[in-house]
Structure 1
């Protein structure tokens, strides 16, 4: 937080408390059980399947063969051909009898799927999980009655998925040799060659324990030579025994990192499923999130998309206090630094950029759309702001400098004496020129970038020669184009038709450099939001999440909740996945971030507690959500009133807070009143403070609020 502490004057009540603490009464196993996905009939497709993963390897469970087999679809995020994701294949469980019915449950607490198939010959109980550390998918079955399980493998089609989606001819260069089936001892292998060399290998081992019980261990190897790909997969299934205990231990440690409970049980369930999904889809040291995670469905989006998708995917872990899940994006950018420089073409000596989409090599020369890398670096900046890890900031600084340099190369002084961008493009808005000068998204990112570079140079004590240029750019950059309807797409293009992206509003959200707390901008923010949402024809799922977060910023909690429920009512699939022609994982993940924004925000110079909650949410509790400046925040609300707030500093940064308490605010350390309802706290690293109103420090307990039984276990498939 950018605050300066002076002499403590206008102090609120200071009441020392020697043993104040938050009592966490959450029984996580029981609490999460009300959010498990439950299937009262077997799923038939990706859109309602169960899924498991460990940030690289994954699997989906749904039926095949017209409902007469169970498909265990193998997935691995980094398996690609021509820099595009491709399907790997399915292990198929075929019972002896005819399947009559089935049920399943995704147990969030243990990160495993359990189910039962009933046939005319008996029954098959099954359990599956993707081990958190070992690159192994595990599938256990117990057959009873006259049932018996048989297994087979159906390879995926190793061709460009965009061409399949568009029904384009598959040329010879786009084809690969057919897969080759072999065995090594008791291990089955299916190897798919990929041009120009190497391929992916699926290996599986079936262990028959007698009494109808079998266990299948499966893994996927991928390398630029066939021997290495096979060896990787075989080693995973033939290696040390798979530890269920270590798998569960990781997840049992993961869940309590951050706690949220609200009266809307469906939205609460949705939130925790997104945390499960993100932790299943990415981890430190594993691939960054593309649009699918470690799962696959036919798609026109088989790469990383840099003009919104990857950015939105990496928001829920921030306030949600699961920051490790954001590290893979920083690692991708760090590892791709050389490619990002080359993407800048003739400016590569001092600049960096990336086009609309790329593979994991980050190779995509920049075109008209020049906003992509600066926006991704805003995510990198947020990872720093929520940790205050100076080493991360030092890695970011040269990358951000290069990214903003690309903008600076395209600045020119106009006849008005202002600096104007001569290049640019607003993502996916139709009927705009190419290039499109002075796009609002580019002006916003350039402003944010220059401000952040100056703040970073000051923080790191760097006397950079470009400091005068950054200051001059901020002083003379042309204002954001606007008209009677609010913010425009660009100087020459009004916002005149429905558009799913909020690219023209980026300075409002997520950059927060134009906010309703700036009196001169509040009316413009409101007008621009209403104009955008007032043309709904082409709105997409993430349109509603963006509108929800902007509404929360405005303090319009009812509107924020309405937008999120509109998303859940109309766009979200039974398993909480989301599809726009192909899977788009960012939309449901960004909805979880919007809920965080309603409960706790920390943009600008202050923390805000319950900034955008609806009036109907009388009781709310959260524990160890995280704010910028590396603060952990807990709070409880009862009967529509905030009862107490606890703030713990992890980095010793200055802390300014709007706790949302009524009446005279007291605290366990001295408070400085900054303005009505806003206070400064002096917190050393590791120190915490408790804020409350009333005569005595309340008992500070966090526990789940009462659930609506009709909304428990909402997701999955009901009959």
Structure 2
């Protein structure tokens, strides 16, 4: 067995940027020529606007489907914007517990001409934090103000004489208070407000969504209990502004809350402070520009940029925005979401923390730390009453927003998250890493009591064995093994955090705790090994319970704990023989590969993950393979953290106390960028064909950095760029120690190819102008057939079937599947197709589908032949079998028809037998 490295792990993927300002942003992109560099005068000189715009999500056509929605947010209020019904924006707050129900959906039918225009263009403009759409002489800018909980839609080019409407609506099952009023300032407001009471905690949350317009002749009305409406005319110049204020609301005067919600909505230029905030964010965030012959590097770069955008847009509240990896703030799926939206799984948050540290945006970890620190007393009390024989605090893997710590309980049987104990040590390590990366002493001081109590808990549950070691018994190895002994993640975690907390205890006048912790480290058992695939590898734990989930507990020793490195043959074998190679979007395989120096694996795994998980055109993912975007209700964002951490670890590592540059960077991806490491140091480099050109260090503290030679076997030196002095004389040593001073910059250069031999070429880029693809995945929205506009038929219910489709080959037949028409009778071609919802295949409601026809028509229904004599509904007997069929990529369907007069038409559901039904029927309407 390889010896454990005893160096404190310095969370290696961490990178931060030196985005020195550019006087001009029009410089050329960095060419492949190895004699250029963007490093000048102690910083990597970049054009943030150009670099970020490379990753804009281009809409070659409107996002007609909800799963194509573009995300906007200010960290507390989020929005999803798409083109359904002309223009739709679903609004979601991060704190409407327990179910995180949406605050409502804004619908503006008058923007339909813009969306259908032949010259339509659109994009999620990341640098400005806006969705920008143009077409037919109109424009629409959408954003969630960075400085207020307000969603803003700015429109130009509208017909000044044409009346417009804007609806704010909720869905069946909701019970809002609805108002339409004119404020004392003569501002017309329509609002929906609702509170949510949680029985178990007694808490009340909620939101008010208040809609106002900067336009002419504005009036408001309550349309129905779930809908309010503004009616208005654009200003004389064709412009108008809609603002929806969405503050938290826990009850009381709705009118007063609504007035406060839209305060400042009539400011002349609310976009100026908004864009200034976003520009400042991008100036600080670490740049990373990747180029490759096949475009795969650029695609990966774009996903990382989107991850940084997502963090800035979603992580500025008192709690994290991610629940079980679902980022509900950007939902376009009404009130539906996967998993428990009132709770947080730590396992789905950790990759976001590490990604933010490395990207130089550590402040967006604040919600993560606040969440646990604010509930420290609750967790401690829960531990006292639910973990018999323990002291201190157990941090649960699964923690509800009210502090209910169900996972920490030894009085009931173990299960998925019950008795996972490695979460607390991870929290301790992340607090320590946040301090190391930012110098945030206030966080460390506030967190010390919790860090101490977590260490105290682990000391109290360790039991001495006959072998002389201290053991953890009857605990879980993540979700994989239940009721096991000495899980590898726990042993690794205690090896790392006990010395950290011991040092802190000394500084807080608690030498007794420090002594106990240091003594316990020496008595922790060695990692167990087993044979797998003919090789000796780390075991999941000290025992052999069956697997329950597809995690790899043994590789936790490599990341996040860093107690092994690339020189360990045991760890290399453990990686090769891991049981579950990246089958979920939480898998940190690319980071493990980076720490083991496997550049080819890093690239392969990142591209595999994109293919497996990134099914949405907005860059969000699902958490397992084999899913279709049209069938999913939730946007997942943990893969963005996985990808970002893996990339940053591949470019710069320092977890083992040595600065490694490009230790696992794929040779066919050229890169230029910056990374933040412990000590508040920013590391910049440019790598071509796998070889760094120069390495820049911007020191954030007084430190001694151990630096590995980026060019093994070649002479290199280190120069202080402020003084011009050589601080490390030319050497071929493998590792040198460099004394650095805060606010000084240093260049690590090859003696044979010094910095002075490189021509200066600032790091910039061009705005994305097309949808990007890699394999079958895409970023951006391609042009597609718009919903059919019909003067013959209008669907009333259900709402999800209201978008008509033009009947033709390739047309979608369901709103929740990707099946399409392959052939159809000629009399149906070009007419209205009402798609079905295949999730309703077993629905037996007698009044399922209601639509109006404006004149006499023929209604056709196409049914699954497998239901004949089995589950076909009784109402189908009023139709006549035509003897024709409709071909689809799912099932050939039998066609029936019925003549109807002008007026309402009502059809039943797909099945006439409870719990029976196969593919759902689809409906065609043609004029007579």
For this structure pair, what is the TM-score category when the shorter chain's length is used for normalisation?
0.7 to 0.9
Check the 8 A contact 1:96/1:148 in 2, yes or no.
no
SS in 2 for 1:244: helix
RMSD, aligned CA: 3.1
Residue in 2 that maps onto 1:273: 306
Select between 572-581 and 344-353 the one with higher mean Cα deviation: 344-353
CA distance in 2: counterparts of 1:85 and 1:674, whole angstroms: 59
Q: Which residue of 65, 69, 84 maps to 2:86?
A: 69
Q: Distance in 2 between matches of 1:232 and 1:375?
A: 41
Partner secondary structure for residue 423 of structure 1: strand
State the shift of 1:523 in Å.
Answer: 1.9
Distance 1:36 1:198, change over 3 A: closer
Provide the residue aligned with 2:665 in structure 1.
Answer: 613
Change (3 A) 1:535 1:504: closer
Q: Do the aligned partners of 1:621 and 1:635 also contact (CA within 8 Å) in 2?
A: yes
* 1:198 CA drift (Å): 6.0
Would you say how many aligned residue pairs link Structure 1 and Structure 2?
662
Q: Secondary structure at the match of 2:81?
A: strand
Of 486, 493, 497, which residue of structure 2 is paired with 1:449?
497
Q: Residue 708 of structure 2: which of 642, 645, 658 is its match?
A: 658
CA contact (8 A) 2:47 2:764 kept: no
The residue number in structure 1 matching 2:868 is none
Aligned mates of 2:46, 2:759 — CA distance in 1 = 13
Which of 744, 769, 779 pairs up with 1:687? Answer: 744
**Aligned partners of 1:564, 1:620: CA distance in 2, in Å?**
16
Matched, 1:423 2:423: no
Aligned-residue offset at 1:388: 2.9
Out of 511, 518, 542, the residue aligned to residue 471 of structure 1 is 518
Match of 2:58 among 28, 34, 38: 38
Greater Rg over alpha carbons, structure: 2
| Residue 681 (structure 2) aligned to one of 608, 615, 631 | 631
Partner of 1:484, secondary structure, is strand
**Distance of aligned partners of 1:701 and 1:597 in 2 relative to their CA distance in 1, 3 Å threshold:** farther
Find out whether 1:250 has 2:283 as its counterpart. Answer: no
> Does residue 649 of the first structure (1) align with residue 663 of the second (2)?
no
1:606 aligns to what SS in structure 2?
coil
Per-residue CA deviation, residues 142-199 of structure 1 (Å, 9 max, x unaligned), is 35468654211121567xxxxxxxxxxxxxxxxx744434435311110113236563
- More deviation, 402-411/368-377: 368-377
Q: 1:527 aligns with which of 548, 568, 573?
A: 573
> 1:16: which partner in 2?
none
- Give the equivalent residue in structure 2 for 1:363: 404
Q: Could you tell me how far 1:79 is from its partner in structure 2?
A: 1.4
Stretches of structure 2 that go unaligned for 5 or more consecutive residues are 1-6, 10-38, 199-203, 216-234, 292-296, 410-418, 624-631, 720-725, 784-928
Which residue, 181, 184, 188 being the options, matches 1:183? 181
The residue correspondences of 1:514-593 to structure 2 (distance < 5 A) are 514-517=564-567, 522-532=568-578, 535-536=580-581, 539-543=583-587, 546-572=588-614, 573-580=616-623, 582-593=634-645
2:181, 2:83 → 1: CA distance?
A: 26
Describe the SS at the equivalent of 2:424: helix
Shift of 1:422: 1.6
Query: Which string of whole-angstrom CA distances, capped at 9 and with x for unpartnered residues, describes residues 480-509 of structure 1?
Result: 232112233322226868x54333321211
Secondary structure at the residue paired with 1:448? helix
Distance verdict in 2 for CA 1:491–1:179, change over 3 Å: farther
1:129 counterpart (143, 151, 161):
143
Distance 1:216 1:560 in 2: 46
Q: Deviations over 1:302-329 (max 9, x none)?
A: 1342340121222221111112212222
Distance of 2:100 and 2:497 partners within structure 1 = 32
Shift of 1:673: 9.5
Find the residue that maps to 1:676 and give its secondary structure.
coil
2:283 aligned with 1:261: no
* Aligned position for 2:890: none
TM-score normalized with structure 1 length: 0.85
1:414 aligns with 2:465: yes
Give the equivalent residue in structure 2 for 1:238: 263
Q: In the alignment, which residue of structure 2 is the partner of 1:399?
A: 450
Distance in 1, Cα, partners of 2:701 & 2:43: 23
Give the CA deviation at 1:555. 1.1
Structure 2 residue 394 is matched with structure 1 residue 353: yes
Alignment of 1:185-224 (within 5 A): 185=183, 186-195=188-197, 199-208=206-215, 209-224=235-250
Displacement of 1:390: 3.0
Query: Is 2:420–2:478's contact at 8 Å kept on the other side of the alignment?
Result: yes
| Range moving further from structure 2, 264-273 or 396-405 | 396-405
Q: Residues 476, 233 of structure 1: CA spacing in aligned structure 2 closer, same or farther, 3 A cutoff?
A: farther
Return the match for 1:295 from 312, 323, 330.
330
Q: 1:579 to 1:97 in 2, by over 3 A?
A: closer
Q: CA deviation at 1:461?
A: 6.5
Question: Normalized against structure 2, the TM-score is what?
Answer: 0.66
1:112 counterpart = 2:130: yes
Q: Distance in 2 between matches of 1:191 and 1:320?
A: 38
Superposition deviation, residue 550 in structure 1: 0.9
Q: In 2 relative to 1, CA 31–337 (structure 1 residues): closer, same or farther, beyond 3 Å?
A: same
Q: Do the aligned residues in 2 keep the contact of 1:289 with 1:304 (CA within 8 Å)?
A: no
**How has the CA–CA distance of structure 1 residues 611 and 456 changed in structure 2, closer, same or farther, with 3 Å as cutoff?**
farther
Cα distance change of structure 1 residues 709 and 292 upon mapping to structure 2, 3 Å threshold: closer
Cα 1:103–1:526, aligned 2, differ >3 Å: closer, same or farther?
same
Q: Give the corresponding residue for 2:414.
A: none
1:376 aligns with 2:427: yes
1:11 is aligned to: none
Deviations 1:576-627 (A, max 9, x none): 112237433222122112111111111021221111101212x32113x211
Taking a change above 3 Å as real, the CA distance of residues 401 and 612 of structure 1, as seen in their structure-2 partners, is: same
Map of 1:304-315 to 2, 5 A cutoff?
A: 304-315=343-354
The Cα shift of 1:560 comes to 0.5
Does the 8 Å CA contact 1:424/1:442 hold for their aligned counterparts? no
Change (3 A) 1:673 1:606: farther
Deviation at 1:255, TM superposition (A): 1.1
CA distance in 1, matches of 2:695, 2:611: 33
Q: CA deviation at 1:210?
A: 3.1
Contact residue 265 and residue 711 of structure 1 kept, 8 A? no
Question: Which shows bigger deviation, 625-634 or 688-697?
Answer: 688-697
More helix by share: 1
Q: How far apart are 1:379 and its partner, in Å?
A: 2.0
Partner of 2:361: 322
In 2: Cα distance, 1:473 partner to 1:343 partner? 25
Unpaired stretches in structure 1, ≥5 consecutive residues: 4-18, 159-175
Matched residue, 1:142: 156
Question: What is the alpha-carbon distance in structure 2 between the residues aligned to residue 2 and residue 504 of structure 1?
Answer: 18
Please state if 1:387 is matched with 2:438. yes
- Cα separation, 1, equivalents of 2:238 and 2:208: 29
Answering whether residue 782 of structure 2 is matched by residue 718 of structure 1, we say: yes
